[in-house]
């Protein structure tokens, strides 16, 4: 392909990718499969690599991140970034409306919106292209976080329609609750400290230097104001509609995320609706915002030093209940982290009965100065279990029952350790402390690790209690008779467990590496390490300097890997796993055969051991054909994570068998 042809192809792919990205992330209505999308993106990436000077700053390839920002430059805002005055009661909102009526005597219209609980952003577009994104900063100047904001898929990189040549759009970037909970679950699993709430996490994420990490965190946005010298509309509502037409994610009237009203009753209706319904939103809000709709009226009302007079925020009272702190449990996680959990007298909160609350760590207990028997205030935030936010001191009794953090592990008695600068206490007896041992085995057998069917936490408990397992390698030495001795273990289940353990010997090296549970080594890091070092032996021999050469491996992870392999006990487990045939090397050469000839495959979702391209090559090298959409001619659907429900349903309706990547590999191996 010559340069001219490449240019044409790049522009065709860019247009198509932007369009399909919009359909997926803004409209939630995709027209093509994820596979087709990824194929196009890959083509574009290849072309950009071949012709680097044709790569645009706003190419859809920027979504995946990769660029590093060493220092976020401070830039002056063209229009100061103001804040809103807050109100907390109906009376305050009524007073605000009455004040406005003194200046505006014509009929008033208001627009009610949600007050998204995230980070304010101002993005400048020049000639329809993303130019620069600034944080609020002190309102006068903000930090340039352009590279990171470009990874947020609901924010367009190029616009369509009739947009002004130069304008700024403002809105809120937030972390959806599902992304937040998933991120925290992953962090907890590898022994990282969890994040406190979605807002702070969104804010911290936007300040990460590596935009690739930002891309992985799944941030989202809603835009709420357009600033331009070229105004063609006369109301706020029209400008929101326009922004939607240019490609921005703006609140939909059909979902009542935005509403035009002309009375106090209208405003109150909106407030009341969302005060009740907000628990069902997939993101957090902390109130609603009411704005005067007409720009002319807004101009007349003007602003105070800090905030416009034409808008007001109504803040919801966070539902808070009072109950008794009965006791505190100290839980030991698989990494040895000690988490205090409060047991409460059951109480209703946000439609559910609350019995437990998270206390996070020793500092939290100290800060709240908690005593047993205290009457405590409990609130729900972005976390699954609620938190204690304060104590009703008036109800505190005479006896001094102050909660003291444990000095020794509640499970094994080992003195707890707290590293300088860390919030968490740890039990260091990682090889013998029962909950840690069991937790490590549970992690090892998990779906994303060795995926051992038939085994669950309960059976691991039984195996441990019966002294049949003390580490992952012991699983491979279990005998049928050992299992039958366990309480309520039927022959069929015992067989299933043994079959599951046998099948796990086919699990690829990167998952094995994740499964062995090195602290701070999550799924992605394990994959990177496996691809880089290829074998466990090379990884075990790697020096600190060699380890930090690998993408995404910093000092902390590198040290943790070194510490893990320095322990002879850990090496012994690996030796035994090796003897039992567990995979400790990347499968080097792709198998070739005619096993799959005559079969057509559709690939969908995200895979763990292989990239989508590798799966495709694997199928093709073994005689199979790839199709982009499911039809009656499809023989198999190879499904990864996050596959669209529509596709799954179609496969089921047409009776197309669904394979996981492991099952595909097994199919190839069995027929080899
Ligand atoms: S309008 C002139 N609308 O609330 C004020 N702000 O203190 C322009 N916020 O930092 C702001 N949702 O980030 C507006 N629908 C909404 C909002 C909203 C959240 C945030 C905004 C600002 C803070 C106001």
- For 550-561, the pLDDT digits (tens) are 988 999 999 999
For residue 382, give both structure tokens: 């972005």
Residue 437 has pLDDT above 70, yes or no: yes
State phi, psi for 184 to the nearest 5 degrees.
-65, -40
For ligand 1, whether the C-beta of 117 sits within 6 Å is no
For ligand 1, whether the C-beta of 137 sits within 6 Å is no
User: Which residue has 């466990």 as its token pair?
Assistant: 536
More confident of the two residues 421 and 569: 569
Q: How many CB atoms lie within 10 A of CB 481?
A: 8
By C-alpha distance, which of 258, 277, 388 is closest to 323? 388
226 C-alpha to ligand 1 centroid (Å): 12
DSSP-derived pairing of the beta strands 425-427 and 119-126: unpaired
Residue 589 has pLDDT above 80, yes or no: no
State phi, psi for 550 to the nearest 5 degrees.
-75, 140
Select from 86, 116, 139, 171 the residue to mutate for testing ligand 1; criterion: most ligand atoms less than 8 Å from CB.
116
DSSP-derived pairing of the beta strands 600-604 and 141-143: unpaired
| For residues 601-623, average pLDDT | 84
223 C-alpha to ligand 1 centroid (Å): 10
Q: For residues 211 and 216, what is the distance between their CA atoms, to the nearest angstrom?
A: 9
Give the total residue count for the chain. 672
User: Which residue has 């009776």 as its token pair?
Assistant: 655
DSSP for 385-413 reads S-EEEEE-GGG--SS--B----SB-TTT-
CA contacts within 13 A on the Cβ side of 389: 13
314 C-alpha to ligand 1 centroid (Å): 11
The three-state secondary structure class of 265 is: helix
**Percentage of the chain lying above the pLDDT 70 cut:** 99
Select from 88, 120, 171, 174 the residue to mutate for testing ligand 1; criterion: most ligand atoms less than 8 Å from CB.
120
Residue 440 has pLDDT above 90, yes or no: yes
Q: What is the pLDDT, as a whole number, of residue 439?
A: 96
| For residues 594-616, average pLDDT | 84
For ligand 1, whether the C-beta of 113 sits within 6 Å is yes
What's the pLDDT band for 129 if we cut at 50, 70, 90? very high
What's the pLDDT band for 602 if we cut at 50, 70, 90? very high
Q: How many CB atoms lie within 10 A of CB 56?
A: 15
For ligand 1, whether the C-beta of 83 sits within 6 Å is yes
For residue 465, give both structure tokens: 């209690």
DSSP-derived pairing of the beta strands 285-292 and 337-349: unpaired
158 C-alpha to ligand 1 centroid (Å): 24
Average pLDDT of the chain?
93
Quote the Cα angle for 366-188-441, to 5°: 120
Q: For residues 319 and 279, what is the distance between their CA atoms, to the nearest angstrom?
A: 11
| For residues 261-266, average pLDDT | 97
Residue 181 has pLDDT above 70, yes or no: yes
For ligand 1, whether the C-beta of 172 sits within 6 Å is yes
Q: Which of 3, 15, 76, 115 is catalytic?
A: 115
pLDDT tens digit sequence for 208-224:
999 999 999 999 999 99
Tell me if 628 sits within 8 A of 35, measured CB to CB: yes
Report the DSSP beta bridge partners of residue 132: 124
| For residues 660-666, average pLDDT | 88
| For residues 390-417, average pLDDT | 93
pLDDT tens digit sequence for 478-515:
999 999 989 889 999 999 999 999 999 999 999 999 99
CA contacts within 13 A on the Cβ side of 553: 28
For ligand 1, whether the C-beta of 564 sits within 6 Å is no
Q: How many CB atoms lie within 10 A of CB 11?
A: 12
For ligand 1, whether the C-beta of 284 sits within 6 Å is no
Residue 641 has pLDDT above 90, yes or no: no
What's the pLDDT band for 588 if we cut at 50, 70, 90? low
CA contacts within 13 A on the Cβ side of 150: 29
Report the DSSP beta bridge partners of residue 356: 343
For ligand 1, whether the C-beta of 82 sits within 6 Å is yes
Least-confidence region, from 25-29, 541-545, 644-648: 644-648
Tell me how far apart the 2 most distant CA atoms of the chain are, in Å.
Answer: 88
Atom of ligand 1 minimally distant from the CA of 121: 13
286 C-alpha to ligand 1 centroid (Å): 11
Q: What is the pLDDT, as a whole number, of residue 141?
A: 96
pLDDT tens digit sequence for 221-231:
999 999 988 87
What's the pLDDT band for 591 if we cut at 50, 70, 90? low
202 C-alpha to ligand 1 centroid (Å): 16
DSSP for 362-388 reads HHHHHHHT-BTT-EEEEE--SSSS-EE
Q: What is the pLDDT, as a whole number, of residue 584?
A: 96
The pTM of the whole model exceeds 0.85: no
132 C-alpha to ligand 1 centroid (Å): 19
The three-state secondary structure class of 644 is: coil
For ligand 1, whether the C-beta of 498 sits within 6 Å is no
What's the pLDDT band for 339 if we cut at 50, 70, 90? very high
**Percentage of the chain lying above the pLDDT 90 cut:** 78
| For residues 568-591, average pLDDT | 88
Residue 1 has pLDDT above 80, yes or no: yes
CA distances from 239 to 2, 225, 337 (A): 43, 8, 51
Select from 88, 118, 224, 312 the residue to mutate for testing ligand 1; criterion: most ligand atoms less than 8 Å from CB.
224
Q: What is the pLDDT, as a whole number, of residue 672?
A: 62
Atom of ligand 1 minimally distant from the CA of 120: 13
Residue 410 buriedness (CB in 10 A; 0-12 / 13-18 / 19+): middle
84 C-alpha to ligand 1 centroid (Å): 6
By C-alpha distance, which of 500, 447, 507 is closest to 475? 500
User: Which letter does DSSP use for residue 606 in this model?
Assistant: B
For ligand 1, whether the C-beta of 321 sits within 6 Å is no
By C-alpha distance, which of 25, 369, 500 is closest to 220? 25
Tell me if 499 sits within 8 A of 471, measured CB to CB: no
280 C-alpha to ligand 1 centroid (Å): 21
Minimum CA distance residue for ligand 1 atom 2: 82
Q: What is the pLDDT, as a whole number, of residue 605?
A: 84
pLDDT tens digit sequence for 270-327:
999 999 899 889 999 999 999 999 999 999 999 998 899 999 999 998 889 999 999 9
Minimum CA distance residue for ligand 1 atom 13: 120
Tell me if 500 sits within 8 A of 455, measured CB to CB: yes
For ligand 1, whether the C-beta of 116 sits within 6 Å is yes
Select from 79, 84, 290 the residue to mutate for testing ligand 1; criterion: most ligand atoms less than 8 Å from CB.
84
Tell me if 380 sits within 8 A of 386, measured CB to CB: yes
What's the pLDDT band for 590 if we cut at 50, 70, 90? low
Listed in sequence order, the residues at least 6 apart from 37 whose beta carbon sits closer than 8 Å to its beta carbon are: 17, 20, 21, 24, 30
| For residues 49-53, average pLDDT | 91
| For residues 79-85, average pLDDT | 93
Residue 397 has pLDDT above 90, yes or no: no
Select from 289, 292, 293, 307 the residue to mutate for testing ligand 1; criterion: most ligand atoms less than 8 Å from CB.
289
DSSP-derived pairing of the beta strands 320-332 and 258-261: unpaired
> What distance lies between CA 13 and its chain's CA centroid?
28
Q: Residue 499 catalytic? A: no
CA distances from 295 to 374, 402, 610 (A): 52, 57, 54
Residue 358 has pLDDT above 90, yes or no: no
Minimum CA distance residue for ligand 1 atom 16: 115
């Amino acid at each position: 392909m010559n340069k001219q042809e490449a240019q044409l192809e790049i522009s065709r792919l860019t247009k198509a990718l932007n369009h399909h990205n919009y359909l997926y992330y803004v409209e939630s209505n995709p027209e093509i499969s994820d596979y087709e999308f990824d194929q196009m993106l890959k083509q574009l990436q290849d072309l950009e690599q071949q012709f680097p000077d044709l790569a645009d700053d706003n190419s859809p390839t920027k979504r995946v991140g990769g660029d590093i920002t060493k220092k976020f430059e401070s830039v002056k805002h063209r229009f100061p970034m103001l804040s809103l005055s807050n109100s907390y009661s109906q009376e305050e909102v009524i007073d605000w409306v009455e004040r406005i009526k003194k200046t505006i005597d014509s009929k008033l219209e208001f627009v009610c919106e949600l007050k998204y609980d995230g980070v304010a952003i101002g993005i400048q577009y020049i000639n329809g292209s993303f130019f620069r994104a600034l944080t609020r900063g002190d309102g006068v100047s903000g930090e340039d976080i352009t590279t990171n904001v470009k990874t947020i898929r609901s924010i367009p990189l190029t616009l369509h329609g009739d947009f002004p040549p130069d304008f700024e759009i403002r809105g809120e970037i937030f972390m959806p609750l599902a992304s937040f909970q998933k991120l925290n679950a992953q962090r907890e699993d590898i022994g990282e400290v969890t994040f406190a709430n979605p807002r702070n996490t969104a804010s911290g994420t936007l300040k990460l230097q590596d935009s690739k990490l930002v891309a992985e965190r799944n941030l989202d946005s809603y835009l709420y104001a357009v600033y331009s010298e070229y105004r063609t509309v006369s109301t706020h509502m029209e400008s929101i509609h326009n922004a939607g037409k240019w490609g921005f994610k703006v609140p939909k009237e059909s979902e009542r995320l935005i509403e035009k009203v002309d009375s106090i009753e209208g405003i109150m209706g909106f407030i009341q609706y969302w005060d009740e319904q907000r628990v069902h939103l997939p993101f957090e809000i902390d109130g609603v915002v009411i704005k005067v709709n007409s720009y002319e009226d807004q101009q007349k009302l003007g602003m105070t030093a800090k905030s416009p007079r034409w808008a007001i925020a109504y803040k919801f009272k966070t539902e808070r209940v009072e109950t008794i702190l009965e006791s505190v449990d100290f839980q030991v996680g698989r990494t040895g982290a000690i988490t205090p959990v409060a047991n409460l007298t059951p109480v209703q909160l946000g439609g559910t009965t609350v019995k437990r609350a998270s206390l996070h760590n020793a500092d939290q207990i100290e800060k709240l100065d908690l005593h047993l028997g205290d009457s405590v205030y409990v609130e729900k935030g972005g976390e699954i279990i609620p938190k204690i936010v304060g104590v009703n001191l008036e109800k505190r009794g005479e006896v001094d029952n102050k909660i003291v953090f444990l000095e020794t592990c509640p499970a094994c008695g080992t003195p707890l350790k707290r590293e300088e600068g860390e919030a968490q206490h740890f039990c260091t007896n990682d090889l013998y402390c029962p909950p840690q041992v069991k937790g490590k085995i549970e992690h090892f057998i998990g779906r994303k690790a060795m995926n051992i069917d038939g085994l669950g936490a309960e059976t691991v408990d039984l195996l441990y209690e019966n002294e049949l397992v003390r580490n992952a390698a012991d699983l491979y030495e279990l005998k049928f008779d050992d299992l039958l001795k366990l309480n309520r273990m039927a022959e069929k289940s015992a067989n299933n467990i043994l079959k599951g353990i046998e099948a796990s010997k086919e699990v690829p090296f990167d998952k094995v590496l994740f499964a062995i549970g090195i602290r701070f080594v999550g799924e992605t890091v394990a994959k990177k390490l496996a691809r880089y070092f290829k074998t466990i032996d090379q990884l075990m021999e790697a020096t600190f300097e060699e380890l930090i050469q690998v993408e995404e491996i910093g000092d902390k992870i590198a040290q943790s890997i070194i510490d893990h392999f320095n322990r002879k006990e850990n090496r012994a487990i690996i030796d035994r796993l090796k003897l039992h045939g567990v995979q400790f090397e990347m499968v080097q050469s792709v198998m070739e055969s005619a096993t799959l000839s005559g079969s057509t495959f559709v690939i969908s979702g995200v895979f763990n051991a292989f990239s989508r391209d590798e799966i495709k090559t694997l199928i093709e090298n073994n005689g199979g054909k790839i199709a982009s959409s499911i039809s009656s001619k499809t023989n198999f659907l190879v499904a990864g994570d996050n596959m669209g429900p529509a596709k799954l349903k179609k496969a089921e309706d047409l009776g197309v068998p669904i394979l996981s990547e492991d099952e595909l590999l097994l199919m190839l191996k069995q027929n080899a």
